[in-house]
Structure 1
Amino acid sequence: MSEHRTASATAARERTEERGSGIPLGRLAGVPIYLAPSWLLLAALITLTYGTIVQTRAQPLPFSTGLLVGFGFVVCLLVSVLLHELGHAVTSRRSGIGVRGITLEMLGGYTEMEREAPRPGVELLVSLAGPVVSLVLGLLAAGAAVVLPSGGIAATFAFQLALSNIVVGVFNALPGLPLDGGRALQALVWKLTGDANVGRRVAGWFGRLLALATAGSALLLLEFRPFHKAYFGVAFTLLVAITMWVGAGQAIRHAKAAARLPPFSARELARPLVAVRSGTPLAEADRIAELSDDRGPVVAVVDSAGSLVGFVHRAKARAVPVERRPWVPIVDVAARIDRHHVLAGDLRGTDLLMAIRDDPGGDYLVVTGEDVHGVLRGAELVSLVAPTRRPRRPTVRRNSA
């Protein structure tokens, strides 16, 4: 059958929320917030380093108080990054792009979108929203540093918070992926060429150049006496450079893969379903599928009420010996429907590739509202994109280093 109306289709559609990566912190403006465990390591290092500096410069401040001030600085940085990412998220939602969540991690954070921007102008606005928020926060903190008594802990705290936000805002505005400025560059090239993938590739190569420049700058700092022992700062900068290089490479590969995507929606690519009862023997299900008028159908399993339960798992079915197939019920080799393997029927192009990134070789139920269109096999889509090589996992991210 090509479509199947069932109550289980509604349940499948309602379970398509994205998995969060990290420790859930709750929701802000309706957006799920997660904290990556890597942030805890950075928090400990900054707390210790900052606390030591404060204790040294503000004698006789107790070391424990210095650590408390250091931890407060870390929390302020975390809030700053969160507001940066909320700038992306709110702008994205107002532009009609859904947001899966925000993850705060050691090198900053990222906002994951449900799909790509539909137009270059939207991409530009969403990309620059984060750096603008960081610059505004930096200016506010700088104003606080000016009005506070000079030389005190509060003024020093405000000045360093201002400096941090301004550096984040300016650095992220640089024109290279995976930075926000890279997505802005991608939008401009997209506008000029009419091809988002060309923009992504150009911004990816600029990102690689920026990564090399960042690494080179970190190494050059060791040659200057004020920084020749700033090993933590240099190591952190090198880590940022490596992350930028990897992200830029992923963007380039993503652009190449997306350019080869077929111009069809998930609904058009889905294989039709042939429904059988859960107690049907595997051999009988095979026979029913062969008699179907549809080409290459996928056997769907329905319960006694006719509600869709799952569909045949190809690997499990192939593993059953021929002599046992008449005795094995179809439900024993069926893949249950889970929220991570349900796709909207109108997904296409890069958005479709992004939707299957967690399991590129898996099978996905394709639905639109109450309508079940069929099953899209991820392995078949991947073979169309890269017949000889499995593509890396693409993602729509807004990074803040």
Structure 2
Amino acid sequence: MPQRLNGGYDKNWFRPSFHVASGAMDEHRTASAPASPKARPEPQERGSGIRLGRIAGVPIFLAPSWLLLAALITITYGQYLSSRSEALTLTTGLAVGFGFVVCLLISVLLHELGHAFTSRHSGIGVRGITLEMLGGYTEMEKEAPRPGVELYVSLAGPAVSLAIGLLAAGAAAVLPPGGLAETFAFQLALSNIVVAVFNALPGLPLDGGRALQALVWKLTGDANTGRIVAGWVGRLLALGTAAVAVLLLWSPLVHGYFGILFTLLVALTMWVGAGQAIRHAKAVGKLPPFSARELARPIVAVTQPTPLAEADRIAALGDNERRPVVAVVDGAGSLVGFLHGASARAVPAERRPWVPVGDVTRRIDEDHVLTGDLRGAELLQAIRDDPGGDYLVVTGEDVHGVLRGAELLALVAPNRRPRHPTARRNST
């Protein structure tokens, strides 16, 4: 049965209160959390790299790897332009090359904004956009609820790239032929059309792979089956891309090794992304068909001064199969955090009657609160920033208990250790 928070669960500020078990005399008392006048904070933004700002409320980040690619494209394109025209100096060529890189960056950003806006319009939500060496990715707040939404969001990016390519091609058609502006517009059109066509290929981690996943999901009724099929097709496409790179070695149209190495890097990235999608699908398939509410352990709450030994005694009174999690509250009954298992176990037995639980408490924040109805892929996604953490499970004003991320992870990957909460997430 869920616990009812005294005064209700304040969604604006994470200060719920409990019926507290007093550590000294095992009495129970009630305390309510003070009301907070502040508004509910916005969802925490996600991304890695240099923060560029926000567009329509969407945080934008630039990965450092993009700077390396920008330098390589600037040099390669600048040398190409200066070699075609004796009137164009290398310095001018490099300046134009850098301008071309900026246009490519804007094109990729518009591509990702296509995903972001359609995602937000569909009710999925967006945490941020990261622009990186081989393009970029948009991080959603949750999985698409239906195949049609997945298809809609996945094809929005290539559609934007195709539109940019066609506009640039129209500009190239009306500009004076042979001029620098016409060459620039043609290259911009070609790059965006290639991005649109390549991303539409039906294999993960490409956008077309997500579209294929949606179609298989629609036919089979299983999103995981769609992810596995699209992942294996993505691996085949990665091998094909690597084969194209090898064939380019003997092509008379290719001068230098930059394009070949870049194509091989794309193939490697596709292979890794496809493998991640397959492993994710298998992990979700191993999850029990239960919600976070049903997987949560019960809670027993004690105040911060309660001796560790007394907290152990109170917790031992619960079900042995589902031992309660010790929640630590302050004098007002507001949740501070949970007893940190590793820290508590490190306290010697002779000191446990004297060490207060407040000294071995892991504090909890809004990022460690889960909705009771979460299950499957959405549940895994909700804990991915801290897979080994403890999460308070609530529905409205009811507290159901604590979900331990390490226990959930053990169900899907028994031999895997939780990664550090600051480790970088992989998204496609």
TM range (shorter): over 0.9
Give 1:154 deviation, angstroms: 0.8
1:11 corresponds to 2:13: yes
**1:300 lines up with 2:327 in the alignment:** yes
Stretches of structure 1 that go unaligned for 5 or more consecutive residues are none
Give the alignment of 1:213-228 within 5 angstroms: 213-227=240-254
Are 1:344 and 1:368, in contact at CA under 8 Å, matched by a contact in 2? yes
> Could you tell which deviates more after superposition, 67-76 or 291-300?
291-300
What residue number does 1:169 align with? 196
Contact 1:112 1:395 in 2 (8 A): no
Q: CA deviation at 1:316?
A: 0.6
Deviation per residue, 1:55-97 (Å, 9 max, x gap)? 2223322322222211111111011001111111111111111
2:247 is the alignment partner of 1:245: no
Residue 237 and residue 173 in structure 1: after superposition, are their counterparts in 2 closer, same or farther (change >3 A)? same
User: Alpha carbons of 1:262 and 1:18: their partners in 2 closer, same or farther (altered >3 Å)?
Assistant: farther
The match for 1:235 is: 261
Tell me which residue corresponds to 1:358. 385
Contact 2:46 2:139 (8 Å CA) reproduced: no
Instruction: Report the CA distance shift for 1:267/1:3 in structure 2 as closer, same or farther (over 3 A).
Output: farther
Change (3 A) 1:244 1:293: closer
2:342 and 2:163 map into 1 onto residues whose CA distance is 55
Whether 1:53 aligns to 2:62 is no
Offset of 1:266 from its aligned partner?
1.7
Contact 2:126 2:140 in 1 (8 A): yes
Hey, what's the Cα distance between the residues in 1 that align with 2:45 and 2:297? Answer: 24
Q: 5 Å matches for 1:66-105?
A: 66-105=93-132
TM-score (normalised: structure 1): 0.93
Change (3 A) 1:75 1:168: same
The structure-2 alpha-carbon separation of the partners of 1:15 and 1:159, relative to structure 1 and needing over 3 Å to count, comes to: closer
Aligned residues: percent identity?
A: 76
SS of match in other structure, 2:178:
coil
Deviates more, 1:107-116 or 1:3-12: 3-12
Matched to 1:154, the amino acid is A
Residue of structure 1 equivalent to 2:375: 348
**Residue of structure 1 equivalent to 2:303:** 277
CA–CA separation in structure 2 for the residues paired with 1:260 and 1:100: 27
CA-atom RMSD in angstroms: 2.2
Tell me whether 345-354 or 189-198 shows the greater mean CA deviation.
345-354
**Which residue of structure 2 aligns with residue 286 of structure 1?**
312
* Distance in 1 (alpha carbons) for counterparts of 2:336 and 2:304: 8
* Structure 2 alignment gaps of length 5 or more: 15-39
Q: Which position in structure 1 is the counterpart of 2:19?
A: none
Give the drift of 1:361: 2.1
Cα distance change on mapping 1:372 and 1:383 into 2, 3 Å: same
Change (3 A) 1:74 1:324: same
In proportion to residue count, which structure has more helix?
A: 1
Q: RCO (CA 8 Å, sep 6+): is it higher in 1 or 2?
A: 1
Task: Note if 1:210 corresponds to 2:237.
Answer: yes
- The alpha-carbon distance between structure 1 residues 9 and 276, as it changes in their structure 2 partners (threshold 3 A), is farther
With structure 2 as the length reference, what TM-score do the two structures score? 0.87
The separation in 2 between residues aligned to 1:37 and 1:76, in whole angstroms, is: 18
Q: Distance in 2 between matches of 1:263 and 1:73?
A: 50
Task: Give the aligned partner of residue 137 of structure 1.
Answer: 164
Q: Which moved more, 1:266-275 or 1:118-127?
A: 266-275
C-alpha distance 259-188 of structure 1, shift in aligned 2 (>3 A): same
Structure 2 counterpart of 1:160: 187
Counterpart Cα distance in 1 of 2:391 and 2:287: 17
Structure 1 Cα separation of the partners of residues 418 and 268 of structure 2: 20
